[in-house]
Structures are given as structure tokens and as C-alpha cells.
Amino acid sequence: MGAERSRVLCLSAYEAASHRLWRERLGRGLPDYHWQALALPARHFRWRIRGNPLSWYDAPELQQAPDLVLATSMVDLAVVRGLNRGIAAAPTVVYFHENQFAYPEQHERVASNEPKVVNLYTALAADQVLFNSEWNRRSFLEGARELLRRMPDRKPETAVATIEARSRVVPVPIPDERFTALQRDWPAVPHLLWNHRWEYDKGPERLLALLRALRGRGQPFRLSLVGEGFRQAPEAFAHIREEFAGELVNLGYMESREAYDRLLEEADMVLSTALHDFQGLAVQEAMAAGCVPIVPDRLAYPEYVPADFRYPSREAPELEGQAAAERLMAVLAEPRPGPETLMPERYRRTRVIPEYRQLFESLLGG
């Protein structure tokens, strides 16, 4: 008989689409582990981030001792371990897809320090702390230091240094089959792709300014505006639908993964106007399929997008839109770069999955 597989219990307290994708890709990449998961829907944010230990209080999965616990940053890991003695002794990894310190300040989620404190407790309660980008790691550590600096008294001197020593960057992997880029030339009318959540933190007003600037400079284009939508979308999307109806090729969420993959291969450029993006998986997958990125010079983008394809950040959306349009047109004026220039090889599954395996085995004592 073969050796019994190590049991990994994954706790996902706010199962957004990107969190589920990460969990599923790990399961497929590491099939020799026995995977179990407890996941809560991505809604009622404040209840999720504070109430997940109560939501899981009666879960039978927490009454058995797993070999390894893998939790997302939304999990209140300190409380979950305190309430469930069955998992208290298991080695624990926490994965930060994002951190609450780096969200734009006007967002209602950061109206209080409580989500940030949960992130801090969770990182301190874990044996290893993983981030999907160096930007994510750095902004967390800087934000934690600033939060503690503002506290009135009895501030821990070693907490952030402890987390930093336990931290490393291991990204969400991209399946090898997504790397399909082929050498091709620019068409007469380039096909632009914007493939992000339809929320304010992805900068839709900046996208609107960019499109208006392109039209004002006489640059023709086709546009696919795709991504997950919500009941209350920012007003900029309505303006884009109205003003650029003649340029739109695709609009809204694409249910078919096959159709979406074809779009990635057909589009010429992938755009980002994000105010926060902790890894930028949508941009990376488009790059793997051959899209040339046009992204702001901020967040995680400098980690994998060459400087020639990044436009300067500007506080005013109109000014940033103009800067983005200038960069886009400058790229179009040059020969199209070959796939070897922009291929995000660092994120390929066959390179990333061994990093997860090595980390898990070190904690399991293998």
C-alpha cells in the first residue's frame, strides 16, 4: 500500500473568483495531497472578516487534526485556532491575495482599522506568510508599521519584524497551456482589451479618460470591455457603452472560458487603469496569450511589465488618461514586440508549483 497522503485544510473566508481559482490550481498542481476546503461566499465583507470563526464553529473539518492548514488573509486565523483545538497544533500557512492596508482610502471597507487588525493577527498566527507579489508584501509591512505607530501605547516592538522574517512571495500560478503567444504585426485598427472587475478600484474613470484621449488624437481602435460586473457599477461604464458603442467588440462578463481564451489570443493590447491590483493575474494571462500590456507605473506592474509599456501615474484621471494614450500610441508606432520580450515566465505553473511543494514539505517535515 502507498503512503497516506498529507491532509491540507484550506480556509477561505471570502471566496472571490481569484481566491477560488488559486485554490483550484493548487489542488490540480499538487494532487498527491488530500485537499479539503471550507469556503464562505464573497459577500457581507464586514461580517465575513470578523465572523468567519463563528460561521465555521460547528464545521466537522475543524474537529479533525489536518497535517497542514492553508488560510487566506480574510480568515481570522488567531481566533479560528483558539476556538478549534483540533487544528491548533497544525503548521499553518496564510496566503495574502491582497491586504487591507493597501486599499484606496475612500473605500468603505477601510472606514475602520478592524480589517487591518485582523490581517495583522492572522499573519502573526501563521508559521509562514505568503504574498502574491512583492508590492503586496511591502505594502502590508509598511501599512502594519504605520498602524502600530499610530496606536496610543503598549505597541509591540517585534511584531512586524516577525512577520517579515516569515514572509516570502509565491504568486498565483498560470497554467502552462495559457502560454500561447505567437509573433504577429500590429493591425491597422488595434483591438484593446480591458479585463477587470467592474468596480471603482479598477479605475474605470481613468479608462474613460484614456479612450477619450485616443479618440481626440485620431487613433482608431476596437474595444473589448469584459470582467465581472455587480449590481451597482461605476457610472463610467455607462459612459463608455454610450460613447464608444461603435468600437465595442465584447461587453460584460464572459461565461465561457474557451471564448475568453480566444479573446486573449485575438486582442492586441491589454489595458489596466487599476488603483489597486496586488498581482494582476488578468494582465499576466493576457500577456501569456500575446497581448501587449499598457499599464500604470505603480502597484505590482513594475515587477513584470517593462518600463516601455508603463505610463506615469497621475492623481487626476484626465491627466493619467492622456499619459496612457501617449504611451499606447508610442508603442503602436514601433514594431510589435516579440513574445519573448513580454512573456511572464516567472508565473508559469511548472515554475511556481514546486515552490509551494517545497514550502509545504518543509512544514510537514518531509
Q: CA-to-CA distance for 346 and 175, rounded, in angstroms? A: 12
Q: What is the mean pLDDT of the chain?
A: 94
Q: CA-to-CA distance for 56 and 50, rounded, in angstroms? A: 12
Nearest to 202 by CA among 152, 237, 252, 165: 237
Q: CA-to-CA distance for 148 and 153, rounded, in angstroms? A: 9
pLDDT at 29: 97
pLDDT at 112: 79
Return the ∠ at Cα 256 (arms to 290 and 226), rounded to 5°: 60
For residues 71-91, give the mean pLDDT. 94
128: pLDDT strictly greater than 90: yes
129: pLDDT strictly greater than 90: yes
Mapping DSSP to helix (H, G, I), strand (E, B) and coil, where does residue 97 land?
coil
pLDDT at 346: 97
Please, which residues have CB within 8 angstroms of residue 168's CB and are 6 or more apart in sequence?
A: 128, 129, 130, 131, 137, 359
pLDDT 10s digits, 43-54: 999 999 999 999
108: pLDDT strictly greater than 50: no
Return the ∠ at Cα 354 (arms to 349 and 355), rounded to 5°: 100
110: pLDDT strictly greater than 60: no
Q: CA-to-CA distance for 174 and 300, rounded, in angstroms? A: 16
Mapping DSSP to helix (H, G, I), strand (E, B) and coil, where does residue 186 land?
coil
pTM: 0.94
pLDDT at 86: 84
pLDDT 10s digits, 251-299: 999 999 999 999 999 999 999 999 999 999 999 999 999 999 999 999 9
For residues 333-339, give the mean pLDDT. 96
83: pLDDT strictly greater than 80: yes
Provide, rounded to the nearest whole percent, the portion of the chain with pLDDT above 90: 91
Give the full edge-to-edge strand order of the sheet including 92-96. 34-41, 7-15, 68-72, 92-96, 128-131, 167-169
